[in-house]
Amino acid sequence: MAPTATTDDASLGNTPLELEDFLIADDLLRARASDKIQTPLLCFPRSERGVIDYEGFTGSDIDRFVDHAAKYYLMHGLQPINNSHQTPKVIALLAPTTLAYVITVFALARLGYTVLCLSPRLAPNACAKLMEETRSFTVIVGRASQLSTLVAQTNDVHPVETIVMVDREDFDLPPSLEPRFQRENIDREVEKHWTFLISHSSGSTGLPKPVYMPHKRLMMRVPVPKSRVEFNTFPFFHGYGSWIIVNGVMGRKTIYMSNSHLPLTANYVIQVMQHVRPDVLHVVPYTLELLALSEKGIDAMKNCQRVVFSGSGCPDELGDSLVAKGVNLVSVWGATEMGSLGASFNRPPGDNTWDYIRIPPPIAKYIKMKPLGDETYECVYLHGLPALVVSNSDDPPKSFHSKDIFLKHPNMDAWKHIGRLDDRLTLTNGEKVLPVPMEGRIRQDRLIKECCIFGAGKSTPGILVFRNEESMNMPDEVFIDAIWPTIQHANTRAESFAHITKEAIVPLSAEIDYPKTDKESIKRAQMYFVFAEEIEAMYEKLDYASTGTLQLDIPEIEEWLMRTFREALDVRLSSKDDDFFAAGVNSLQAIQMRGLILRDLNVGGNSKNLGQNVVFDTGNVARLAKHLYALRVDHTAPVDVVDGAKEMEALIAKYSHKRSHVVVLTGTTGSLGAYILSKLLGRPDVSAVYCLVRGNNPLERVVRALRQQNLPFPQDGSMSALSSDLSRADLGLSPDMYENLRKDTTIIIHSAWAVNFNLSTSSFEDQHIKGVENLIQLSLSVSSSIPAHLFFCSSVAVALATPGPANIPEAPIYDLTAALPQGYARSKLISEHILRNAALDAGARTRSLRIGQMVGDGERGLWNDTEAIPLIIRSALTLGILPALHETQSWLPVDIVASTILDLAGITTSRPPASDFDTNLVYNLVNSNTFSWTDDLLPELQRSGLSFRVVPVNEWLQKLRDYQLNGGDPERNPAVKLLDHFQRTYSGTENKPKAITFETKTAMNHSKALRDAPRIIEDGYVKKFVRVWLENWKGEIGKGMDITSSG
């Protein structure tokens, strides 16, 4: 382990911190360089992939490095700012947090520049927006190829000059005989007000915003408990990450930095902590969750004096569990815009309020906790707070209203963060309604003064609507009818679960006062409190009010139900025996139908016996009609209308024959997963399929996916759709359900993955890479004597960065740079290795399937027109051109891929065709019947009814850029939404045909479906795709467009 600072080092011979005077960042470096006792301040891994090969750098080292780096940037065209009374220029910095990154930051500060710290995860338009807003026209970029690509794409929007970031060999030089670089005639008292760093917001609610941090803010002494060694996992471009480094150097601490080239896994963090034994660990709550999964992780945290989390809130259950196990957990709450608000440091023994921050007195005098009326408070930062660098309100003047909601501790001056003012309303089914956009549209009605949507904890949302002077004398029914078109229009712009029904409108008088701010906006939490009685009365009426007078017999009720479903809910049932759910009835429509029944039909005064879920409980019109008739005639709740026990016995007898396979399947809300599911459910040798679905309403979403592909809905009861969270060790399932999977599972097919080419590798860790590990554990823990087979749907993208020409074998890829430089491809390759390691080390039975470009099936021709290739083809409608790509295509229809997977999994045969011991086999699933994009596909598209010219790819890219810059409608030409991706993929490929092919010999030997794969051009697939697309595009684009002649 590298040497670290000690208490004696900090006190003997060095100037006490309280006597030092730091006005600007360079003061700090020069002070640490002059310390008599030199100890490591910053420690970075020696190698790019290193875990514990740390080397430490003293203040003298860092100062020397910064001096050489400053001279490097002078040689590359930067000129020092020698006038303290001019505004410093802004230089952008785009790179991961390495030693060279930190040295560059301080070198630019020494030259007098402001540094705009850009996250490498930003999209090009976000980089361009930040650079344009900060007037930055030069970017220093790291040496990774994906960063150069990002800069090139940024340059298309905002022209920039590029300087390659200084390398170790350029700054780690012996002390120069020349004096250290020093700007002349500077006024440090003036420059302490200069902006040192510009960070940016996350951009979670739009494009990121710059946040300016002057030297004086970062040079402030923030009192924190003493420590010697700290391990920091935050990047420098994160406000807290930059503070840790500056504060550590200031306090003569030894700060170990995580390796920004490695994923932040639990094993990695534990290895580092066991090596450096930090007093303090700095992490985000997500890393806490990873560490809490193992005893080693918990022990590593217990060995720290403090484990400090920041960046977001830690779940109560997780924090309470860690504290109960002896971890000294500390919350630091703050934001880039205003610095640290407080922390839960220095709690006395027995005080486990880790989640309540204490606001230090020097900060507290600039904080106003603004009551929200429900024992909660919004934190308002007042002008005068030294760290406050933004303002969004003049109430009080120059204050910052954070929208962060806090709860006060009942017995001490401490505060717990519980959410945001702009949080969504969560319904009982887990769906979240965003009220503000809908309210904004409804508020525009000329008859409405104000409105407020409610519904948290309820099954359906409602709305309070206040009349204005024009509508004040309207009766309720007339008023509701008058505003109903406006609410209907707002419904069309919202998710179906957020729709407001006519019965859920609560009209209120124009004279009624309601809680509002000085700016006349509603105070939401107080609105719900003040009008709680009216809200509950609406739900009571919705649930039980029965005003219906129609007394009908069973055939008449059936007719009324069929007509009402069709006319009121737009649900078209072909017969009275159609299953409601299979016909597309959702939970909101079921609730609405119950309300319509109570409004129109006489139920004999038994409305309270009409269950909330009566529509789905009865299942179809025939049984629902019998149920309603029995309610009115018998005046009691009827017997089980589905003939419970007898029907159960019949179903048991019908479906109880021996089957062998129990399959766990992910990704069933996607096209491939839906096809796999459809083929599994049609087989007599598959007894059960468990569909693991992320999020709520799993069954409804699986059925929707099947219906979108025109695939049959399973009726045999062998399919179970389960809400799941693959990032959790128990897959987010109940203990009983997880135990069922352990007992029965024979095959796992993992096809779920986010197809998002803009996400970084680390973004795939939680739900995806971690999910692979958790599925491996399930496969190993099954109760049978051998593990369940696990088949992983990988991608050919794991090899598409291989230098060509190349033929990719059916084998592991050991060169990690072979994957395309995007999180999607890299996470797939990482997972392939994890699966193979599990087979080698733990005896898991795993197999990776590298899948190429999938297209629609041959029977229906349904190919999702939001994918990249259909978007390219669709651009012909507006641009009149298509690119001549120098590519050979090996497309596979999605139904063929699904059948191939079943072949390779051994479902269509007695067992998988490959030996479990062959851990070096990876299947490549591409079509051996290839064709040329330019010579074969483009003429076939023209023969299929599309009219366009064929142009070089760069001309097509330029036309697409022009379309975007000229304000073209992205709904008519949605290819512009993937412009960045197309530029990364196709720029510079004019005369560079791709020469990467994939070996498929073993896969074809093992799969009849793959051997018999169709010829896409000759077998008429393209014509089917185009026919379906043209129908869709006519409907979407409209405007009388003649698609066949469109240019």
Domain boundaries, the chain: 7-262, 425-544, 554-650, 659-853+893-922, 931-999+1017-1045
Amino acid symbol at 68: H
Mean pLDDT, to the nearest integer, of 538-566?
A: 85
- Count CB-CB contacts under 10 A for residue 211: 18
DSSP 384: T
* pLDDT band of 654, cuts 50, 70, 90: low
**Res. 426: pLDDT tops 90:** no
**Res. 16: pLDDT tops 70:** yes
> How far, in Å, CA of 186 to CA of 27, rounded?
12
Mean pLDDT, to the nearest integer, of 56-81?
A: 95
Return phi, psi of residue 483, to 5°.
-90, -10
Number of continuous H segments (helices) and E segments (strands) in the chain: 38, 38
pLDDT given at position 581:
75
**Res. 636: pLDDT tops 90:** no
**Res. 98: pLDDT tops 60:** yes
pLDDT digits (tens, 9 = 90+) for 840-875: 888 889 999 999 999 998 888 888 888 889 999 999
Outline where 39-144 has alpha helix (H): 59-75, 99-111, 124-133
Q: Among positive and negative, which fits the CA dihedral 633, 637, 642, 644?
A: negative
Q: Which two tokens stand for residue 858?
A: 């041959």
Provide the β-strand partners of residue 882: 950
Weakest mean pLDDT among 221-225, 629-633, 828-832: 221-225
**Res. 1045: pLDDT tops 50:** no
CATH, range 7-262: 3.40.50.12780
CATH architecture of 659-853+893-922: 3-Layer(aba) Sandwich (3.40)
Mean pLDDT, to the nearest integer, of 923-937?
A: 95
Assess whether the previous peptide bond of 315 is cis (omega < 30° from 0).
no
pLDDT digits (tens, 9 = 90+) for 42-60: 999 998 888 999 999 999 9
Return phi, psi of residue 722, to 5°.
-120, 135
Mean pLDDT, to the nearest integer, of 957-977?
A: 90
pLDDT given at position 842:
82
Q: Among positive and negative, which fits the CA dihedral 531, 532, 535, 540?
A: negative
Amino acid symbol at 694: R
Mean pLDDT, to the nearest integer, of 701-718?
A: 83
pLDDT given at position 639:
42
pLDDT given at position 283:
92
Weakest mean pLDDT among 18-22, 142-146, 515-519, 902-906: 515-519
Mean pLDDT, to the nearest integer, of 676-695?
A: 91
**Res. 9: pLDDT tops 60:** no
Domain 554-650: CATH class, spelled out:
mainly alpha
pTM of the model as a whole:
0.47
125, 207 in Cβ contact below 8 A? yes
pLDDT given at position 512:
92
Weakest mean pLDDT among 195-204, 883-892, 923-932: 195-204
pLDDT given at position 420:
66
DSSP 143: S
Mean pLDDT, to the nearest integer, of 129-138?
A: 93
**Res. 827: pLDDT tops 90:** yes
pLDDT given at position 635:
60
CATH, range 425-544: 3.30.300.30
Mean pLDDT, to the nearest integer, of 154-168?
A: 91
> How far, in Å, CA of 969 to CA of 582, rounded?
36
Domains 554-650 and 659-853+893-922 are alike in CATH topology = no
**Res. 206: pLDDT tops 70:** no
Mean pLDDT, to the nearest integer, of 273-286?
A: 91
**Is residue 74 within a helix (H) or strand (E), and if so which, with residue range?**
helix 59-75
**Res. 637: pLDDT tops 80:** no
**Res. 902: pLDDT tops 80:** yes
Q: Checking DSSP bridges between strand 892-893 and strand 854-855, what pairing results, if any?
A: parallel
pLDDT digits (tens, 9 = 90+) for 443-469: 878 899 899 999 877 778 999 999 999
> How far, in Å, CA of 851 to CA of 834, rounded?
18
Weakest mean pLDDT among 228-242, 265-279, 325-339: 325-339
pLDDT given at position 162:
94
Mean pLDDT, to the nearest integer, of 638-651?
A: 56
Mean pLDDT, to the nearest integer, of 691-715?
A: 88
pLDDT given at position 315:
65
**Res. 893: pLDDT tops 90:** yes
- Count CB-CB contacts under 10 A for residue 460: 24
pLDDT given at position 207:
62
Higher-confidence position of 715 and 841: 841
Sheet of strand 686-694, all strands in order from the earlier edge strand to the far edge: 719-724, 686-694, 661-666, 747-750, 789-795, 845-851, 923-925
Assess whether the previous peptide bond of 396 is cis (omega < 30° from 0).
yes
Q: Percentage of the chain surpassing pLDDT 90?
A: 50
**At a CB cut-off of 8 Å and minimum separation 6, what does 536 contact?**
none
> How far, in Å, CA of 149 to CA of 850, rounded?
26
Q: Which two tokens stand for residue 474?
A: 């309207």
For the chain, give the mean pLDDT.
86
First-to-last alpha carbon distance for the chain, in angstroms, is 67
> How far, in Å, CA of 449 to CA of 493, rounded?
21
* pLDDT band of 534, cuts 50, 70, 90: very high
Mean pLDDT, to the nearest integer, of 549-575?
A: 90
How far is the CA of 618 from the CAs of 33, 146, 662, 969, in angstroms? 79, 56, 29, 46
Residue 775's nearest CA partner among 760, 764, 791, 762 is 791
Higher-confidence position of 403 and 878: 878
Weakest mean pLDDT among 414-423, 515-524, 581-590, 802-811: 515-524
pLDDT given at position 431:
65
User: Would you call 705 exposed, middle or buried from its count of C-beta atoms within 10 A (0-12, 13-18, 19+)?
Assistant: buried
Q: Percentage of the chain surpassing pLDDT 70?
A: 90
pLDDT given at position 3:
42
